Amino acid sequence: MSPTTTPETETAQSPTPTPVAAGDGTEVKGRLAVRSGTKVTLSIDAMGGDRGPAAIVAGISRSAAKNPALDFILHGNAATLEKLVAKRKHLRGRVEIRDAQGVVTMDEKPSQAMRRADTSMRSAIDAVRDGEAQAVVSCGNTGALMATSMIRLRKLEGVNRPAIACLWPSRNAGGFNVMLDVGADIRADQQDLLQYAMMGASYARNGLGLSEPRVGLLNVGTEEHKGRAELKVASDLIEKTQQLGNYSYVGFVEGGDIPGDKVDVIVTDGFTGNVALKTGEGTAKFVGDSLKEAFKATPLSRIAALLALTSLRRLQKRIDPRRVNGGVFLGLRGTVVKSHGSADATGVSAAVKLAYELAASGFTERLAARVASAAASAQTDKPE
Amino acid sequence: MSPTTTPETETAQSPTPTPVAAGDGTEVKGRLAVRSGTKVTLSIDAMGGDRGPAAIVAGISRSAAKNPALDFILHGNAATLEKLVAKRKHLRGRVEIRDAQGVVTMDEKPSQAMRRADTSMRSAIDAVRDGEAQAVVSCGNTGALMATSMIRLRKLEGVNRPAIACLWPSRNAGGFNVMLDVGADIRADQQDLLQYAMMGASYARNGLGLSEPRVGLLNVGTEEHKGRAELKVASDLIEKTQQLGNYSYVGFVEGGDIPGDKVDVIVTDGFTGNVALKTGEGTAKFVGDSLKEAFKATPLSRIAALLALTSLRRLQKRIDPRRVNGGVFLGLRGTVVKSHGSADATGVSAAVKLAYELAASGFTERLAARVASAAASAQTDKPE
């Protein structure tokens, strides 16, 4: 039941990866288990994001400096990108630029955006579809990225609604929980919630190195009689599927458990998950800003802030949303990492690291095998 | 549009209250406008809550010391309560004890609890119904308190689903936003959401002293095409009712806006609101605890913590959920304040203060008049 950092990875597909080092060559603790030095090419949508291509190129340059096993295909305005890339010595000889003139704006309707053939977003996704890159990273419009990924990459066999999973800073030993769906779809029925449990558990096994992740279903109370009727049905389904899904079900959890240590995977619909994610981020930022103000209040507190600088930096690192930047789309035939729209170089680099780890560990293939075996088993269980 | 601390109170009912001082005699800033020294009797459910009657008696004693205009009717085990009250000099001659042997447990089903005639909870509510007290405070089971309040006090004319409103620490000038519903009902249709907007705006006008509160509807994005279909309909309704409701509608808001300064009243269904409330509380506590750990990390940081003590206390006060303890039930024929189940003396005292201010300002009567006039107007607007 308790979380462990011994990585017992998915066994549905061989060869079994050797969990040794992270993409930047440092030892992994509670993060993705990756074959050391595995070469990966990432496809990068350089035009998405609020800060424009400069922040994105700065971010991948930072990743390139840390990880020699990484190459990139950059999609966007070629003239702009060539200039930006030329300035970065770590990117020399490691970046291919694909010209794409169309840019998906942050407020564009997904149904419109996914129909446009000339966008940097679609070009970036297509490079994964065509096997030229192992994962795509975009800071762009989330809805458009999901819609375009669904039509270009397609859903995994047996998946009804793909989900976006995020890592959430928590009291757990590894420092993070997984929550899904945080915004792929505003609806989720009981079958979708069951699939989220399976996919989230798989992500936690591979991504957080937990042999048997504890899964909880988000509700307004932990008592069985509380909450919406479909949640009770979903709870029963998720409980019954524990063995097949290789997770341990803890029952209903509440909002307060999201940063807690009671559970590793929090399952919810994309509406609730998105509100919770943004509320948590907003609250953390509010408390952090209030703390800064408090330290500026008096000369004594300003001295205190200087003395505590190292400790405060450690705290900031622990709760910094940029460090865990990167929502992963689960349930597609390809790995898609959605970075925050407002990500700076640090944020982009974190998303790139996550994409590298997922690609190098073959996570999507293992998830596909897991979902397929679950679907097959459900088929067998059906009464004739 | 911008929040103001000039209290323009509801005018639907006379006599107009004179907004001068809070219950403890100090000047009000962005809190409830109250006639100074107005005598109020509060009905207290002494048996609810995780910490038992001792914490509750300690809390009301603290309030009694600060506010000479307060008297209490205490409901619960008379023998226990008499002993506890006898120890508190501030409560001498100001407390009437009503024996009630039944205790509603925290995990009891609301439908069962509301049928029991012998509980301290029902006895406390009945004192308000019978006009012996002007408001009730309970730390007990929220669902049971709402269910019992609905059958004993009844709903206001024109209200379909009552809601629970909470104050949320925010970047606004007054320091707080109002959010509702945070857990009265897991469902809310478009008409309910409109009523929440009206009731929340009324609470913000009277409770936060805002002449024209800014109302926002919680969604997963601020773009008009996002979110559930019923939210779009509700958004149109709330926008159309701006003038009648005496508020200004800002459109959709996101989770990140809850602690922000873009909006004064956040409207949502009780499922989403409850998850957001608990996520925010959990995140604030997680960040606070991480901060404490960071200060313990090195000798230098321990010295820093000592130097910054005053500033840190100011911060803690700003984000302490106990300070804004007390969810208010809106839409009932009587004032009900729900304190946190885990409230200590500080928390109970905050809830008592809120109940005093609401009772002394005649808020429920004014809200009733506002809702009735809105219902009458909607009736007139109907096509024959």
**DSSP-derived secondary structure for A26-66:** SBPSSS----TT--EEEEEE-S-STTHHHHHHHHHHHHHHH
Query: Which range has highest mean pLDDT (A76-85, A360-369, B205-214, B374-383)?
Result: A76-85
Q: Model confidence at A321, in pLDDT bands (50, 70, 90)?
A: low
The whole-number pLDDT of residue B30 equals 40
pLDDT in tens, B294-325: 778 778 777 777 777 777 777 777 666 555 66
A291 contacts B315? CB cut-off 8 A: yes
Which chain A residue has the Cα nearest residue B106? A223
The whole-number pLDDT of residue A134 equals 95
Q: What is the mean pLDDT of residues A285-298?
A: 81
The whole-number pLDDT of residue B288 equals 82
The burial class, CB within 10 Å (0-12 / 13-18 / 19+), for B111 is: exposed
Looking at A47-56, A312-321, B12-21, B225-234, which range is the least confident one?
B12-21
Which chain B residue has the Cα nearest residue A228? B186
The whole-number pLDDT of residue B4 equals 34
A304 contacts B304? CB cut-off 8 A: yes
Sort out which chain A residues have CB atoms less than 8 A from B278's CB and list them.
254-256
Mutate which: B223, B275, B306, vs A, most A CBs within 10 A: B275
The shortest C-alpha distance from A297 to chain B (Å) reads: 7
Q: How many angstroms separate the CA atoms of B166 and B147, rounded? A: 18
Q: Model confidence at A311, in pLDDT bands (50, 70, 90)?
A: confident
**Is A86 a residue whose pLDDT tops 90?**
yes
Which chain A residue has the Cα nearest residue B305? A304
Which chain A residue has the Cα nearest residue B255? A279
**Is A322 a residue whose pLDDT tops 80?**
no
The whole-number pLDDT of residue A338 equals 92
The shortest C-alpha distance from B283 to chain A (Å) reads: 6
The whole-number pLDDT of residue B72 equals 98
A226 contacts B143? CB cut-off 8 A: yes
Sort out which chain A residues have CB atoms less than 8 A from B298's CB and list them.
310-311
Sort out which chain B residues have CB atoms less than 8 A from A227's CB and list them.
186, 271
The whole-number pLDDT of residue A333 equals 94
Which chain A residue has the Cα nearest residue B274? A220
How many inter-chain contacts (A to B, CB under 8 Å) are there?
A: 193
Q: Model confidence at A53, in pLDDT bands (50, 70, 90)?
A: very high
A227 contacts B186? CB cut-off 8 A: yes
How far is the CA of B321 from the CAs of A170, B22, B46, B111, B262, in angstroms?
20, 20, 21, 29, 21
Distance of alpha carbon A63 from the chain centroid: 17
The shortest C-alpha distance from B209 to chain A (Å) reads: 23
The shortest C-alpha distance from A296 to chain B (Å) reads: 9
Residue that wins the pLDDT comparison between A13 and A358: A358
The whole-number pLDDT of residue B208 equals 78
The shortest C-alpha distance from B46 to chain A (Å) reads: 23
Sort out which chain A residues have CB atoms less than 8 A from B223's CB and list them.
107
Q: How many angstroms separate the CA atoms of B213 and B203, rounded? A: 9
Sign of the Cα pseudo-torsion (A325, A195, A262, B313, in order): positive
B310 contacts A308? CB cut-off 8 A: no
In this structure, how many other beta carbons lie within 10 angstroms of the beta carbon of residue A195? 30
Residue that wins the pLDDT comparison between A378 and B130: B130
Looking at A88-97, A270-279, A322-331, B108-117, which range is the least confident one?
A322-331
The encoded tokens of residue A76 equal: 């966007």
The encoded tokens of residue B268 equal: 């949502």
- Among candidates A107, A256, A318 on the partner chain, residue whose Cβ is nearest the Cβ of B223: A107
Sort out which chain B residues have CB atoms less than 8 A from A304's CB and list them.
304-308, 311
The whole-number mean pLDDT for each consecutive block of 10 residues of chain B, a chain of 384 residues, reads 36 32 34 66 93 94 96 97 96 96 91 93 97 95 93 91 91 89 91 94 85 95 73 94 92 94 96 93 85 79 76 71 74 92 88 90 83 68 44
Q: How many angstroms separate the CA atoms of A247 and A249, rounded? A: 6
A255 contacts B278? CB cut-off 8 A: yes
The shortest C-alpha distance from B147 to chain A (Å) reads: 14
Distance of alpha carbon B240 from the chain centroid: 27
The whole-number pLDDT of residue A8 equals 36
- Among candidates A171, A227, A258 on the partner chain, residue whose Cβ is nearest the Cβ of B279: A258
The whole-number pLDDT of residue A2 equals 37
Q: Model confidence at A24, in pLDDT bands (50, 70, 90)?
A: very low
The whole-number pLDDT of residue A379 equals 57
pLDDT in tens, B237-254: 999 999 988 999 999 999
The whole-number pLDDT of residue A263 equals 97
Mapping DSSP onto H, E and C, the string for chain B reads CCCCCCCCCCCCCCCCCCCCECCCCCECCCCCCCCCCCCEEEEEECCCCCCHHHHHHHHHHHHHHHCCCEEEEEEECHHHHHHHHHCCHHHCCCEEEEECCECCCCCCCHHHHCCCCCEHHHHHHHHHHCCCCCEEEECCCHHHHHHHHHHHCCECCCCCCCEEEEEEECCCCCCEEEEECCCCCCCCCHHHHHHHHHHHHHHHHHHCCCCCCEEEEECCCCCCCCCCHHHHHHHHHHHHCHHHHCCEEEEEECHHHCCCCCCCEEECCHHHHHHHHHHHHHHHHHHHHHHHHHHHCCHHHHHHHHHCHHHHHHHHHHHCHHHHCCEEEECECCEEEECCCCCCHHHHHHHHHHHHHHHHCCHHHHHHHHHHHHHHHHHHHCCC
Mutate which: B278, B285, B323, vs A, most A CBs within 10 A: B278
The whole-number pLDDT of residue A377 equals 67
- Among candidates B271, B276, B286 on the partner chain, residue whose Cβ is nearest the Cβ of A171: B286
Sort out which chain A residues have CB atoms less than 8 A from B287's CB and list them.
283-284, 287-288, 319
State the number of CA atoms in the 13 A half-sphere of B63 facing the CB.
Answer: 33
- Among candidates B225, B260, B277 on the partner chain, residue whose Cβ is nearest the Cβ of A255: B277
B283 contacts A280? CB cut-off 8 A: yes
pTM: 0.83
Residue that wins the pLDDT comparison between A233 and A107: A233
